[in-house]
Amino acid sequence: MDHKLKKLAAYYKPYQGLFWADMFFAMLGATVTLVIPLMVRYITGTVVELPISESAKLILQLGVAMVAMVVLEGFCNFFITYYGHLMGARIERDMRNEIFGHYQKLSFAFYDNQKVGHLLSRITSDLFDITELLHHGPEDVLISTIKLIGAFAILLMINAKLALVAIAIVLVMLVYAVCLNSKMKNAFMENRARIADINSQIEDSLSGIRVVKSFSNEETEMDKFKVGNARFVDSKRRSYKYMAIYHSGMGAFSTLITVGSLVMGAYLMTMDQLTATDLVTFLLYINNFTEPVKKLVNFTEQFQNGYSGYTRFCEVMSIAPDIADKPGAVAMKDVKGDIKFENVTFHYEESKENVLSHVDLEVKPGEYVALVGSSGAGKTTLCSLIPRFYDVSEGSVKLDGKDIRDIQLKNLRQQIGIVQQDVYLFAGTVMENIRYGRPEASDEDVVRAAMAANAHEFIMGLPEGYDTDIGQRGVKLSGGQKQRLSIARVFLKNPPVLIFDEATSALDNESEKIVQGSLETLAKNRTTFVIAHRLSTIRNAQRILVLTEDGIAEEGTHEGLLAKGGIYAGLYQMQF
């Protein structure tokens, strides 16, 4: 725990000046609150007894001094609220940059086992809890400690018997607050879980709104939602009940201290052991008692929330990217695109079952190779090993004779263009989406790439041409249009190696012909791997490899494999 707290405290480092200024003004503000009642005591006890000419002047001076102190206290509160929160927000920004940067480094294997919603909450609500703790924690503890110790010391000095009554009630109040606080915390945790459930349900329903409407299941969705929503109200009811008991109890204790002090004070006055002035001062200090108790109890809750948020933050940060640059990895220039698999075996992290076993394969620069085979034979996996989305379990993959693990990851992936069946387009314009292939490209380059991909024509037909907003994930475009934009992206990137992962299998015949044309233009003079379900799209391939669970079972041209009458011929007969 100490090691973690040290790491957490390190986030203050860039903002040390702000932090110490915040602490200084917190201390100053707390001291002012303690001094004002003493001045009141001095006026009511001493100054009013003086001759009128003297006392009037003194009261005026003390009045001005008290107003100045109130202004000072106001400034202190402004400073710690404004600059303290600003410091918190900056630390939150730093941590958010850190975790988002880390997310970018993690490999597919990590994302295979994660829900996006959970990763999102680490970057939003968890970080908010951490920075609330970092900002309010030290400040609250300092203010509360000064006020509590200061008020106790002054009250004991004024009248010990009376102080003991107040202390006794405060101790009971502290126990009450701690007990209820833990119950409140559990209830609030449940609220959070419920709201997360609701959010994921809303996301699910809205993302699938086309399916909902096509089955006219709006009422079913509404019923499902109402159940979740009702559970949320139930958990809220519990937390509000504890909140009500907590606040009403704390209010009652505050009043009880006043009543207790008054009764005891009046009794001591009848015994001539207390003056009216001291009683007034005493009552003015009572607020300085109760407020710090609330703050300290609050702090324990804040600490638990912030610390558990930080633990979750550390969990993610401690996941080392399993695919990273080796020390001494090099960047390659003028890549020809010679790809070689040497005795490659691969299985996913959590399973011992091999997806690929002892695969040997060499593809010469500029060659067009098609991979076919039943689902689950490892076609996509084989291609995912080339850009190192996953690392081989045994053996090696070489680019131009160099093991890809010795090449810088960024540089390796710049040499490879991928066109997938499921095109991901980002919210934004057509221009921004194509430019994703090479962020520094000029507008002319983007248009040239779109022309090469047969996309220029349909883009010019859109309401604002290249500046048309295509909606989240490109919902305003057809499958063929999305696919051509993704091909334009790869044209712009201009890599020596290409991978087409069932790029046309989701399209209708018309779109498929256009897209197929674009793909063949793109493949000219590049090393190309095509994963195909529809065998009609790969008749022109120079080599067709048939993958099974046991590796590459057959290899040859379309005609050669048909003549052989093996697995490929069987697959072909099934399709036609």
- Asked which of 131, 158, 185 is the last residue of a domain, the reply is 158
Query: pLDDT tens string for the chain (576 positions)?
Result: 578 888 888 999 999 999 999 999 999 999 999 999 889 889 888 888 888 888 889 999 999 999 999 999 999 999 999 999 999 999 999 999 999 998 888 877 787 777 776 777 778 888 888 888 998 899 999 999 999 899 889 889 988 988 898 889 889 988 898 888 888 878 877 887 787 788 778 878 888 888 899 999 999 999 989 998 998 898 889 888 988 998 899 889 888 988 998 999 999 999 999 888 888 888 888 877 778 888 888 888 788 888 888 888 888 888 887 788 888 889 988 888 899 999 999 988 777 788 888 889 899 998 889 998 877 778 888 898 999 988 998 999 999 999 999 999 889 998 898 888 778 888 888 999 999 888 999 999 999 989 888 888 889 988 898 998 887 667 778 878 888 888 889 888 888 998 988 766 666 777 777 777 777 777 788 898 988 877 777 777 889 999 887 778 888 888 888 888 888 888 888 877
pLDDT at 1: 59
Distance CA 36, CA 398 (A): 78
pLDDT at 507: 67
**183 shares its domain with 87:** no
pLDDT at 505: 67
Any domain includes 185: yes
- Asked which of 240, 257, 273 is the last residue of a domain, the reply is 273
Nearest to 361 by CA among 351, 350, 369: 369
> Which CATH number is 62's domain given?
1.20.1560.10
Task: Give bridge partners of residue 363 from the DSSP assignment.
Answer: 339
| Number of Cβ atoms within 10 Å of the Cβ of 19 | 21
Domain around 426? 339-575
**235 shares its domain with 130:** no
Q: How many domains does the chain have?
A: 3
Cβ-count burial 148-164 (b if 16+ within 10 Å, e if not): bebbbebbeebbeebbe
**373 shares its domain with 509:** yes
Cβ-count burial 519-536 (b if 16+ within 10 Å, e if not): beebbeebbbbbbbbebe
Task: Give bridge partners of residue 556 from the DSSP assignment.
Answer: 544
**209 shares its domain with 261:** yes
- Asked which of 158, 186, 203 is the last residue of a domain, the reply is 158
Nearest to 323 by CA among 110, 37, 18, 48: 110
**180 shares its domain with 229:** yes
Residue whose entry in the numeric block shows the structure tokens 């879980």: 193
Pairing of β 402-403 and β 394-399: antiparallel
**452 shares its domain with 571:** yes
- Residue 496 near residue 330 (C-beta atoms within 8 A): no
Any domain includes 151: yes
Any domain includes 398: yes
> Which CATH number is 368's domain given?
3.40.50.300
Distance CA 306, CA 303 (A): 5
Q: Global pTM?
A: 0.73
**142 shares its domain with 233:** no
